[in-house]
Structure 1
Amino acid sequence: MDISRLLTLRELARCGTMAAAAESLHLTPSAVSQQITQLECSLDTPLTERRGRGVALTPAGDALVRHTERIMVILDEARSELAQLRSDIAGQLRIAAFPSLAVAILADTVQALQAAYPRLQIVVQEMEPQEGLTALSAWRTDVAVIDDLAADPGVHHDAYDLVPLAEDVLHILLPVDHPLANRSSLQISELREAAWALDSTSSSFGEFIANLCRRAGFEPRINAHCTGFEMVAAMVASGCSISIASGLRLIKPLDGVKAVPLRPEIHRRILLAYRKADRCHPALQAFLTEIKRNASRTLAAKPTQEH
């Protein structure tokens, strides 16, 4: 039985449709269908059946998914034990991280690890927190960097360990000449007349901001759906919009932008998630040690945004 086909079946069971499984696996629906058909042929057993617009697993398919999860845990444990028997830290470590963390902390962490362990290959995948958790549970990444605003760290917590990395605070971003830019703090309700720029690549964070405004009694008027934070900052600096950003975004100065603390403060916890069977893997332990050291150093030196 091919491991990749088993994981495709598992993802189909989780998603419920060929299209959703294909999107999650970054494949085409026909490729997913072909892998399932090949797996069924190799076993001479039907594993799926049509049910309305979706796909349901047969009893044989359900049983195989359960065995697949056990197989993957055993493989994780085997890789970890073999890695501990090596004389150096080597191999590949896949990291899923959201952009603000990657810019502020992760890049320097990867550089330090590559210098210390030349045979360790670290592959960084930009993913939003919930996407990272999904990839972790599907064995498509080894570490998922998440936050508790965009992802629920309690879901399937029995399958992975969580390590606190940092605590972040949200700020209002204003043009430097905005009438409220010199305030020591701001409440969301004071911004009901403003136009907002939001990073549309993070739908969960955008929805969080929108709900924050709704709880304050207004629907945010969004005049810029941006595909990255660079555009958000440009819209704010130009005077066209305001926005909300995490403290990690303020590690580097933003020209033309003033960051004002939000009151009451909104904190987000940043955590590292990894599968429990990997907890003793030397590469994972080296990564955890270095990124925690880097996060502590970087956040301690974080400047106040005064530009």
Structure 2
Amino acid sequence: MAAVAEAMHVSPSAVSQQISLLEQEVGIDLVERRGRGVDLTIAGRKLVERANRIFEELESARADMAELKKVVAGDLRIAAFPSVAAALMPKTIQTLHATHPRLEVLFEEMEPEEGMNALRSWQTDIALIDDLNVPPGLLDPSIEITPLIEDVFNVMMSPDHRLAVMETVTWQDLEHENWVMDTASSTYTRMLTDACQKSGYTPNIIARCKGFEVTRALVSEGCAIAILPGLRARKDLQGTRICRLEPEIRRRISIAFRKGEKRSPALQVFVQCLEQHAAEIR
């Protein structure tokens, strides 16, 4: 209830009241309490399935009309996580403003899992995701993805670090280092911890940060090392040294959207523009 309320920008009690009204209208319970939370009943799940198909048809019809008019206009909502957003979104938005002034690109920073949830609940039109946080096997059948770019992780350290003279650093080289970890994604933390454990040790994490600004400050002062995506290593790294990491960890970044909207002119021009700028930095 709290998550729905947050997504819809209303109070939890308002969500509860709306569900109660809907239950009165259909004459059957749609949710049931499970501990401190609630779950959908069989009737609730069936209603959600029907509603999803209805929304998909509405989106498909809207795409049909836009395609017939050939008009690139209106709002296009984009969800993307920080590293890919910083690398690609500014130029993409700037280009689209110049080439399609009637199209308004509305961007919101979201981690891949958040973006997928927003896409499923019609809170965004496009989500940029990666295969580390959103494995292909877990994708909703109603969601289509287009591959965008591959990214390789690097190690970041201070310029006077003992390993800074090396072009390539191994996981074993980092065994006795202090680590600062980006906690925005639990999958990211788990992935790095697993990679260290495969090399025979558990990383000594001395700091957990949600934002890159603090991570960079800790690294530049020599307090710790950090692992960061190659896309993020393109800018704003004054006072640090970036080295390649072996064995490498690679992720595939994709564009996700609802299948019914594939023919939307606005979606098509955004995808084309994003792919163009991704190709420039690949």
Letter in 2 for 1:173: M
Equivalence map 1:100-179=2 (5 Å): 100-179=83-162
Among residues 249, 252, 255, which one is paired with 2:238 in the alignment? Answer: 255
Which residue type is aligned with residue 284 of structure 1? L
Give the partner amino acid of 2:108. Answer: Q
Among 200, 203, 208, the residue aligned to 2:183: 200
Letter in 1 for 2:194: N
- Cα deviation 1:54-110 (Å, max 9, x = unaligned): 423344323311210110111110110111122420111111100011111112101
Structure 2: stretches of 5+ with no match in the other structure: none
3-state DSSP of counterpart to 2:137: coil
* Deviation at residue 21 of structure 1 after TM alignment: 4.2
Q: Tell me, what secondary structure is at the counterpart of 1:170? A: strand
**Pairwise CA distance, 1:172:** 0.7
Instruction: Identify the range of structure 1 (40-49 vs 168-177) with the bigger mean alpha-carbon deviation.
Output: 40-49
Contact 2:171/2:247 (8 A) holds in 1: no
1:46 alignment partner, one of 29, 38, 51: 29
Structure 2 SS opposite 1:133: helix
1:91 maps to 74
Q: Which residue of 2 aligns with 1:235?
A: 218
Q: CA 1:26/1:267 → structure 2, altered by over 3 Å: closer, same or farther?
A: farther
Distance (Å, rounded) in 1 between the aligned partners of 2:191 and 2:4: 26
The answer on whether the counterparts of 2:70 and 2:265 sit within 8 Å (CA) in structure 1 is no
Q: 2:195 aligns to what SS in structure 1?
A: helix
Identity over aligned residues, as a percent?
Answer: 44
Verify: 1:268 aligned to 2:251, yes or no.
Answer: yes
Q: Which TM-score applies when normalising by structure 2?
A: 0.93
Q: CA deviation at 1:53?
A: 3.7
Matched, 1:287 2:258: no
> Residues 184-195 of structure 1 correspond to what in structure 2 (within 5 A)?
184-195=167-178
Going from structure 1 to structure 2, the CA distance change for 1:22 and 1:220 (only over 3 Å counts) comes to farther
> 1:256 corresponds to which letter in structure 2?
G
- Tell me by how many angstroms 1:252 deviates: 1.4
Structure 1, 191-200 or 278-287: larger mean CA deviation? 191-200
Q: 1:26 to 1:213 in 2, by over 3 A?
A: farther
- The residue type paired with residue 139 of structure 2 is H
Measured at CA, do residues 202 and 61 of structure 1 come closer, stay the same or move farther in structure 2, by a change above 3 Å? closer
* Residues 19, 217 of structure 1: alpha-carbon distance in 2 compared, 3 angstrom cutoff: farther
CA-CA distance at 1:128 after TM superposition: 0.6
Q: Give the match's secondary structure for 2:168.
A: coil
Residue 167 of structure 1 aligns to which amino acid in structure 2? E
Q: Tell me the equivalent position of 1:304.
A: none
Superposed CA RMSD? 1.9
**Selected match of 2:63 from 74, 80, 105:** 80
Change (3 A) 1:153 1:25: farther
In structure 1, give the amino acid aligned to 2:96: L
**TM-score, length basis structure 1:** 0.86
What SS does the corresponding residue of 2:84 show, helix, strand or coil? Answer: helix
For 1:285, the aligned partner's letter is: Q
- Please give the secondary structure, in 1, of the residue aligned with 2:263: coil
Deviates more, 1:84-93 or 1:53-62: 53-62
Tell me the residue number matched to 2:48.
65
Who is 2:163 aligned against? 180
After the TM superposition, which parts of structure 1 deviate over 6 Å for at least 4 consecutive aligned residues? none
CA shift, 1:29, in A, is 3.0
213-222 vs 289-298, greater mean Cα deviation = 213-222
Q: Secondary structure at the match of 1:240?
A: coil
Q: Does 1:56 align with 2:45?
A: no
Q: Structure 1 residues 249 and 51 mapped into 2: Cα distance closer, same or farther (>3 Å)?
A: closer
Gaps of 5+ in 1: 1-17, 300-307
AA partner of residue 107 (structure 2): V
- Aligned-partner Cα distance in 2 for 1:214–1:22: 40
